[in-house]
Amino acid sequence: MKNLFLLFILAISILNATAKIYYVTPNGTGMGTSWTDAERDLQLAINKASSLGDSVWVKEGLYLPLRDKNGTLNPSNPRTKCFVIISYSKVFGGYLGIPGTEGMFYTRDPWSNPSVLSGDLLQNDFQQPDDSFSNDNCYNVIVNDVRNTPAGGFNALIDGFTISRSFGGSGMLNIGANLVIRDCLFTKNKSEYGGGMYNENANPTIIGCHFRENIGNGGGICSHQGKLKIYRSLFMDNNGLGLGGGILNKSGAVSQIENCWFYANMASLGGAIADNGFDGITQTTVVNCTVNEHILFDARAFYCSDQSVVKIMNCIVWGNGSTSGNNIFKAVSGASLSISYSDIQGGYTGTGNINSDPMFARNSDVHLKSNSPCIDKGETTGAPLIDFDGNNRVVKPDLGCFENGTIAGVRESNTEQFLVSPNPFIDQVFFEFKELNVDHVSVTIFNSQGKKIHTLNIKLERGIGELGHLNLANGVYIFEIEAGDKTYFRKMTAQ
Ligand SMILES: [Ca+2]
Ligand SMILES: [Ca+2]
């Protein structure tokens, strides 16, 4: 076992020794070896980075596709232009691109410094109140098709981009692809099906993404066959036309939807989620999601039909324009809809369901107040270990996407600023900070009763440090981490 581990470390070391980073900026004129020698052509950089371990780092700014999915430069129909996330490539956006920060992963913040992939080739959409300046846009901004040459989206990663303004096709089209899509914003894409994303026999994993103001049957996402996993994501102000404001599952699609927040989407049927089993029975599991402000039309939040199988657990469905559970949910034509351990306005039959005001902080902020009846009311088996914010779920899971963390009276800090891993840990903990201007941090460890156990100083190298030999008994601890003039809290489990 030890030899295997050493071999693994050796393999990683060799990989790291040969792994390359290609740098891309909107005005680059170089070969991509550094920020000062950055490449301008994002697709060429992605093509070069398809060796295992290679990655592309992209500065904030606007990027328009130049080729079609076959790599043809300036195709006769410019609307077929798109980006392809070539199989095995890893593409990261949101960098400031400051010379000297090469290799420093955390010098990025995709939400503050967006790297925008746009289908508005002529940059004229701003002139419109209608579609007349969008009908010259790309059909799709990204196409990942494993059947294509070169193949797209197999074991690939895209992280930290804004994907917007496709027209007549989805922002991202995945065919047979199994890529990971993390911390991306899909916005203002318009298609008949799957405004933000359309999956055809694809198995994408979506983490921490936002889908806003997209239009299509399945305003945020439409999945046709394949297995969709979606975690910690926001669906807001999407328009599902006929079916599924947030998500439409159809044609045998299998979907796992966890820790997501559906807010103010609309559709004729299923403002948040619709399942249509007409040409293949869908199976959809929705766990620890919060669904509010879906006020229009029939079946205000969930619609399922034609023998689709939909399971809902640990969810909050409240404030969707009706006080009748049977108006919020609609199951027709042999569909199976089961709801358990959920807070449903108007009530719904099922184990552990309640019908009480969940006490949101506000309608537009569905964190729970400390007197919420949803705290610790969830089922543990099958529930995620963390919540929308990445915080640990405490004691028993709360209902909805946000956990009310109150052990020892401490609320965890947003984990965007730093990583502390692994969690649970055995004897060693690694710290990775975005704040590169600190060279050390002070860590104070408290037990679950709030008693101080240790205070330790950690030296950081390029934002990374470690703690070892902690000898802590199994249980939950609070780490108070002081870095420069900031203090963070993290709940950690020793095992
Ligand atoms: Ca346009
Ligand atoms: Ca809890």
Q: What is the DSSP string of 245-272?
A: SSEEEETT-EEEEES-EEES-B-SB-SS
| pLDDT given at position 479 | 86
Q: What is the pLDDT of residue 6?
A: 46
Q: What is the pTM of this model?
A: 0.81
Q: How far is the CA of 377 from the centre of ligand 2 (A)?
A: 7
Q: Quick one: what percent of the chain has pLDDT higher than 90?
A: 67
pLDDT at 327 over 50: yes
Same domain, 354 and 421: no
Q: Residue 8's pLDDT is what?
A: 46
Q: Ligand 2 center to residue 374 CA distance, Å?
A: 8
Of the candidate ranges 233-242, 251-260, 293-302, 323-332, the one whose mean pLDDT is the lowest:
293-302
Q: Is the pLDDT of residue 145 over 50?
A: yes
Concatenating the DSSP letter of every residue in 45-80 gives HHHHT-STT-EEEEESEEE---B-TT--BS-SSGGG
Task: Identify whether residues 207 and 291 lie together within a single domain.
Answer: yes
Helix (H) or strand (E) holding 15: helix 2-18
Please indicate, yes or no, whether residues 257 and 356 belong to a single structural domain of this protein.
Answer: yes
- For 134, 198, 286, the CA distances from 121, given in Å and listed in that order, are 9, 21, 37
Residue found by looking up tokens 């007409």 in the block? 278
Give residue 264 CA to ligand 1 midpoint distance, Å. 27
Ligand 1 centre and the CA of 213: distance in Å? 17
> In this structure, is residue 388 part of a structural domain?
no
Ligand approaching nearest to the C-alpha of 374: 2
CA 271 / ligand 2 centre spacing (Å): 28
Q: Is the pLDDT assigned to residue 16 strictly greater than 70? A: no
Within-domain flag for 211: yes
My answer on whether 240 and 348 are in the same domain is yes
Asked whether residue 206 falls in the same domain as residue 131, the answer is yes
Where helices occur in 19-49 by DSSP H, the ranges are 42-48
Q: Please name which ligand lies nearest the alpha carbon of 126.
A: 1
Q: What is the distance in A from the centroid of ligand 2 to the CA of 402?
A: 9
Interval 28-51: pLDDT, tens: 999 999 999 999 999 999 999 988
399 in any annotated domain: no
pLDDT of residue 447: 76
**Ligand at shortest distance from the CA of 380:** 2
Question: What average pLDDT does range 148-162 have in this prediction?
Answer: 95
Residues 57 and 165 occupy one common structural domain:
yes
**Which CATH number is 446's domain given?**
2.60.40.3080
Q: Within a domain: residue 15?
A: no
Cβ < 5 A residues, ion ligand 2:
376, 394-395, 398
Q: Among 119-128, 318-327, 444-453, where is mean pLDDT lowest?
A: 444-453
**pLDDT score of 286:** 98
363 and 419 housed in the same domain: no
Instruction: Note whether 197 and 286 are same-domain residues.
Output: yes
256 is a domain residue: yes
C-alpha 252 – ligand 2 centre gap (Å): 34
pLDDT for residue 484: 75
The per-residue pLDDT for range 378-389, each reduced to its tens digit, is: 999 999 998 998
State in Å: Cα 359 to ligand 2 middle. 15
**Ligand (nearest to CA of 398):** 2
In a shared domain, residues 116 and 250: yes
Q: Is residue 379 part of a domain?
A: no
Instruction: State in Å: Cα 244 to ligand 2 middle.
Output: 30
Answer for the pair 484, 438: CB distance below 8 angstroms, yes or no: yes
Show which of 368, 391, 419 is a domain's final residue: 368
What value does the mean pLDDT take over residues 209-225?
98
Kindly give the distance from the C-alpha atom of residue 163 to the centroid of ligand 1, in angstroms, as a whole number: 15
Residue 7 lies in a domain: no
Ligand with the closest atom to the CA of 375: 2
Cα–ligand 2 centroid distance for 395 (angstroms): 5
Average pLDDT over residues 315-333: 90
Residue 298 above 80 pLDDT? no
Q: Tell me the ligand closest to 372's alpha carbon.
A: 2
Rounded mean pLDDT, 421-437: 78
* Residue 4: inside a domain: no
Give the Å distance between the CA of 198 and the centre of ligand 1.
21
Res 264: pLDDT: 96
Return the CATH number at 199: 2.160.20
For the segment 351-362, the average pLDDT, to the nearest whole number, is: 95
> What's the 122 CA to ligand 1 centre distance in angstroms?
5
Count of the separate structural domains present in the chain: 2
For the cut 60, the answer to whether the pLDDT of residue 404 exceeds it is: yes
Q: State the ligand closest to the CA atom of 136.
A: 1
d(C-alpha 310, C-alpha 291), whole Å: 15
* Averaged pLDDT score across all residues of the chain: 90
Q: Tell me, yes or no, whether 312 and 440 share the same domain.
A: no
Last residue within a domain, chosen from 368, 398, 427: 368
Instruction: Tell me: pLDDT of 284 over 60.
Output: yes
* Most confident option among 203-217, 327-341, 416-430: 203-217
φ/ψ (deg, to 5) at 13: -65, -45
Ligand 2: centre distance to CA 126 (Å): 45
Ligand nearest to the CA of 385: 2
What is the extent of the structural domain holding 283?
20-368
Check residue 411 and give its pLDDT: 53
Please report, in angstroms and rounded to a whole number, the separation of the first and last CA atoms in the chain.
21
CA 127 – ligand 2 centroid, Å: 48
Rounded to 10 degrees, the C-alpha dihedral 89/163/402/324 comes to -130
